[in-house]
């Protein structure tokens, strides 16, 4: 901190040759700072928080000194920092590397004294003895001026310190700026505390070294908790260091040779900040395991069985599916179902059965084997469940055998359901092989009956269960037709090809349910119904030229009813048509157009266009009163907008023609 004084030149009858600069500090007597022939003076290294009073006097050649100038009072500000920062090497997880050197930087007023206090913890005492708990230490480092910025009155201060081996964490950094009057100011660095990384030394020895398996091998370590690790190359016996590890207690080191074989795996290693831990890696020769699953009774191999392998501590090793020969093999050159393990390791095997396999096998033998170097083999036996036979006959409640009735059986093995289904034969018989000694829930169903569900029975070596299913509500429908030519009703074969042309509706008047004409005829199965329900049946033969008829029947105690419906064919019109000269006019066109009086309007009801006269038949046509218009020649419009415009030259009009259902009306 400094003060720069400037003044104007003094005048005297004798030439002025110099100026004296006087300064008093905090009210003390003024002292001479300097004698100068310049008109300015800079007073450096001022103390903080101090009041200075300056005066200037002039000297002439005769040695005379003028009176002092008016005083200038200056009070310096308190000490202060512009900034404090530090830099230190870290690993990718932000931890300080072992024995790193830290640099502390200050930006503050210049020409002061700066220091930094570092507080950190270390695992060793002053004699180098490892402690049970890290010990706190304090280090004061000098921060000399690194660069001055005179025009700004500031400077950069910088100092460094190398942390000793065993440092666990940097707790704090406090920088202090002082002047010669013991004024001081302190500032703390942000972003602390910071932990140091740890190291792990792997000590390699034993048979893997001798066998050459460590040639170009790799040591790698990983922490799932911290999601970090490291690796290093291994080629011989000795100590190999994995540096700058993030502290964690779940590190797993693995030794893998160049062939990808796992030579050693060890879990639960603890890496501590600031420490170098050691772990002996006694590698062993690789070992592989092939397992065959067989039927305990027959000795035959069992394919498609899932086998799971664990270490003795329960951690998984691998899984595989047996092939046609019952083997789960560790094939070299392929991705193994059971990864290579280490000799002297203990592996346990267990099978996992699908619901279908559980229906066949009750349990599996256990597998626990200690691996020897090289190829190992083991066997797991599956024990079959005892089986029993369920058989019986399915009929309806009238004793009629039901073909293709569905029999569904569900048995529970533990918490898994095993289901089987069978269909009855033409005699209603069924046979099923099930699990013996286990309860079964059985359901029966048939398209013509109501289903029976939840029949529970214990399955033994030979179990018989017959079932009579209640028939569904049904109506037998017989449709007869009566034509004009044949007054005696004739039975109509109502297969689906005929039924689609008859509008058949069968409705339960109590429930409103309607049966579908797609049912097998002549028995129409109703969706539901009870004894005493009234069933309304309607048949409309319009598309076939027949009338519409309805009938209501009542379901009896067996929920059955029979309905006979006779449809009468619509009437026909027959006439012998000649000209007045009795000529049939062969080669000329005969037009006969019928109109029916309906809703007080004559409406077209059909027409006949043929060449030549003679005996003609028209119909079938609905019952009613008709008018016929007959004429020779080309077809002409006769009726427009329902108006009576029947006059055509040469035509003949016949009125009051009555057509009745089931009859032929003759015209003279």
Q: Which fold has domain 474-568?
A: Immunoglobulin-like (2.60.40)
Q: What is the pLDDT of residues 519-568, one digit of tens each?
A: 445 555 565 677 899 999 888 887 777 888 899 999 887 777 888 988 88
Cβ atoms of 56 and 24 within 8 Å: the answer is no
Q: What is the pLDDT of residue 497?
A: 58
Distance CA 245, CA 277 (A): 11
pLDDT > 70 fraction of the chain, expressed in percent and rounded: 87
- Does the model's pTM come out above 0.85? no
Q: What is the pLDDT of residues 9-57, one digit of tens each?
A: 888 777 889 999 999 988 889 999 999 999 999 888 788 888 899 999 9
Distance CA 469, CA 328 (A): 50
Q: What is the pLDDT of residues 481-529, one digit of tens each?
A: 888 777 788 887 666 556 667 778 888 898 887 775 544 455 555 656 7
pLDDT of 446 higher than 80: yes
pLDDT of 81 higher than 50: yes
The tokens describing 410, both together, are 């569900």
Q: What is the pLDDT of residue 424?
A: 96
Q: What is the DSSP annotation of 185-248?
A: EEEE-SS--EEBPEEEEEEEESHHHHHTTTTTEEEEEEETTTTEEEEEEE-SSEEEEEEEEPPE
Domain assignments of the chain as residue spans, ordered by start: 3-75, 86-195, 198-282, 286-356+367-380, 387-469, 474-568, 571-667
Nearest partner of 233 among 218, 255, 243, 213, judged by Cα: 218
Q: What is the DSSP annotation of 10-63?
A: P--SS-EEEEEEEEEETTPPPEEEEEESSSEEEE-SPPTT-EEEEEEEEEETT-
pLDDT of 638 higher than 70: no
Q: What is the pLDDT of residue 107?
A: 94
Q: Which fold has domain 3-75?
A: Immunoglobulin-like (2.60.40)
Band of residue 636 on the pLDDT scale cut at 50, 70, 90: low
Q: Which fold has domain 387-469?
A: Immunoglobulin-like (2.60.40)
pLDDT of 580 higher than 70: no
Q: What is the pLDDT of residue 162?
A: 96
Q: What is the pLDDT of residues 241-282, one digit of tens each?
A: 888 899 999 999 988 877 777 777 888 899 999 888 888 877
Given 3.40.50.1220, 1.25.40.10, 2.60.40.1120, 3.20.20.120, which CATH number is that of 198-282? 2.60.40.1120
pLDDT of 209 higher than 60: no
Nearest partner of 349 among 375, 323, 301, 382, judged by Cα: 382
Q: What is the pLDDT of residue 519?
A: 45
The residue with greater pLDDT, 395 or 522, is: 395
Q: What is the pLDDT of residue 354?
A: 84
Angle at 521 between CA 517 and CA 524, to 5 degrees: 60
Given 1.10.10, 2.60.40, 2.60.120, 1.10.15, which CATH number is that of 86-195? 2.60.40
Query: What's the CATH code, domain 571-667?
Result: 2.60.40
Q: What is the pLDDT of residue 432?
A: 95
Provide mean pLDDT across the span 605-624: 76
Q: Strand 31-36 and strand 534-540: pairing?
A: unpaired
Q: What is the pLDDT of residues 469-485, one digit of tens each?
A: 987 777 788 888 888 77
Q: What is the pLDDT of residue 339?
A: 66
The residue with greater pLDDT, 91 or 344, is: 91
b or e along 320-349 (b: 16 or more beta carbons within 10 Å of the residue's beta carbon)?
Answer: bebeeebbbbbeeeeebbbbbbbbebebbb
Angle at 469 between CA 465 and CA 474, to 5 degrees: 165
The tokens describing 32, both together, are 């001479």
Band of residue 373 on the pLDDT scale cut at 50, 70, 90: confident
Distance CA 525, CA 446 (A): 12
Q: What is the pLDDT of residues 180-201, one digit of tens each?
A: 888 899 999 999 999 999 999 8
pLDDT of 614 higher than 80: no
pLDDT of 591 higher than 80: no
> In the chain, what is the greatest distance between 2 CA atoms, to the nearest angstrom?
181
Nearest partner of 507 among 450, 569, 561, judged by Cα: 561
Using only the alpha carbons of the chain, give its radius of gyration.
58
Q: What is the pLDDT of residue 520?
A: 46
Q: What is the pLDDT of residue 114?
A: 95
Identical fold, 86-195 and 387-469: yes
Q: What is the pLDDT of residue 603?
A: 79
Q: What is the pLDDT of residues 305-357, one digit of tens each?
A: 999 888 888 888 888 899 999 999 876 545 566 666 667 778 888 888 887 78
Distance CA 252, CA 265 (A): 7
Q: List residues bridging with 426 in a β-sheet.
A: none
Q: What is the pLDDT of residue 211?
A: 58
Q: Which fold has domain 286-356+367-380?
A: Immunoglobulin-like (2.60.40)
Cβ atoms of 245 and 277 within 8 Å: the answer is no
Q: What is the pLDDT of residues 127-173, one digit of tens each?
A: 889 999 999 999 999 999 999 887 777 899 999 999 999 999 999 99
pLDDT > 90 fraction of the chain, expressed in percent and rounded: 35
């Amino acid at each position: 901190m400094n003060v720069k004084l400037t003044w104007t030149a003094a005048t005297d009858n004798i030439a002025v040759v110099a100026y004296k600069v006087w300064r008093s500090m905090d009210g003390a007597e003024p002292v001479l700072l300097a004698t100068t022939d310049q008109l300015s003076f800079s007073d450096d290294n001022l103390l903080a928080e101090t009041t200075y009073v300056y005066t200037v006097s002039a000297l002439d050649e005769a040695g005379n000194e003028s009176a002092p100038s008016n005083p200038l009072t200056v009070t310096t500000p308190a000490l202060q920092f512009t900034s404090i920062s530090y830099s230190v090497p870290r690993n990718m997880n932000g931890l300080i590397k072992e024995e790193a050197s830290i640099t502390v930087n200050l930006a503050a007023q210049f020409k002061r004294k700066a220091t930094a206090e570092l507080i950190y913890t270390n695992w060793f005492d002053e004699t180098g003895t490892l402690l049970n708990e890290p010990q706190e230490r304090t280090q004061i480092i000098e921060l000399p001026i690194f660069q001055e910025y005179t025009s700004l009155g500031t400077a950069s201060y910088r100092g460094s310190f190398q942390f000793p081996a065993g440092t666990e964490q940097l707790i704090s950094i406090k920088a202090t700026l002082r002047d010669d009057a013991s004024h001081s100011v302190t500032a703390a660095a942000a972003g602390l505390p910071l932990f140091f990384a740890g190291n792990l030394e792997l000590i390699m020895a034993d048979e893997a070294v001798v066998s050459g398996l460590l040639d170009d091998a790799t040591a790698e370590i990983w922490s799932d908790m911290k999601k970090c690790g490291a690796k290093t190359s291994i080629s011989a016996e000795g100590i190999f260091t994995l540096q700058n590890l993030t502290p964690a207690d779940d590190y797993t080191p693995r030794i893998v040779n160049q062939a990808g074989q796992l030579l050693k795996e060890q879990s639960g290693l603890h890496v501590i900040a600031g420490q170098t831990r050691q772990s002996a890696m006694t590698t062993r020769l690789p070992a592989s395991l092939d397992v065959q699953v067989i039927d305990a009774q027959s000795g035959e191999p069992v394919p498609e069985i899932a086998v799971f392998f664990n270490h003795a501590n329960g951690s998984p090793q691998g899984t595989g599916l047996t092939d046609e020969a019952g083997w789960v093999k560790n094939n070299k050159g392929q991705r193994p179902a059971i990864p290579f393990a280490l000799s002297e390791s203990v592996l346990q095997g267990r099978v996992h059965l699908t619901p279908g396999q559980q229906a066949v096998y009750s349990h599996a033998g256990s597998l626990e084997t200690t691996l020897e170097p090289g190829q190992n083999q083991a066997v797991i036996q599956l024990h079959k469940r005892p089986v029993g036979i369920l058989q019986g006959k399915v009929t309806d409640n009238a004793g009629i055998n039901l073909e293709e009735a569905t029999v569904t059986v569900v048995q529970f093995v533990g918490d898994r359901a095993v289901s089987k289904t069978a269909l009855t034969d033409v005699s209603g018989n069924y046979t099923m092989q099930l699990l013996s000694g286990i309860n079964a829930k059985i359901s029966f169903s048939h398209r013509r009956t109501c289903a029976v569900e939840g029949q529970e029975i214990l399955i033994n070596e030979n179990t018989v269960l017959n079932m009579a299913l209640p028939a569904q509500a049904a109506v037998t429908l017989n449709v007869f037709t009566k034509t004009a030519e044949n007054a005696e009703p004739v039975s109509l074969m109502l297969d689906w090809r005929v039924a689609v042309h008859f509008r058949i509706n069968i409705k339960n008047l109590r429930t409103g349910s309607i049966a579908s004409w797609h049912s097998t005829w002549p028995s129409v199965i109703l969706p539901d119904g009870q004894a005493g329900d009234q069933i309304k049946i309607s048949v409309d033969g319009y598309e076939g030229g027949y009338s519409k008829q309805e009938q209501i029947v009542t379901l009896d105690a067996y929920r059955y009813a029979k309905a006979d419906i006779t449809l009468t064919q619509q009437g026909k019109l027959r006439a012998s048509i000649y000209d007045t000269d009795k000529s049939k006019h062969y080669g000329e066109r005969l037009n006969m157009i019928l109109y029916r009086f309906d809703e007080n309007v004559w409406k077209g009801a059909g027409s006949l266009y043929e060449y030549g006269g003679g005996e003609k038949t028209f119909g079938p046509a609905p019952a009613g009163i008709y008018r016929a218009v007959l004429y020779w020649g080309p077809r002409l419009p006769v009726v427009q907008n329902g108006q009576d415009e029947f006059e055509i030259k040469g035509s003949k009009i016949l009125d009051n023609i009555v057509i009745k259902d089931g009859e032929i009306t003759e015209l003279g």
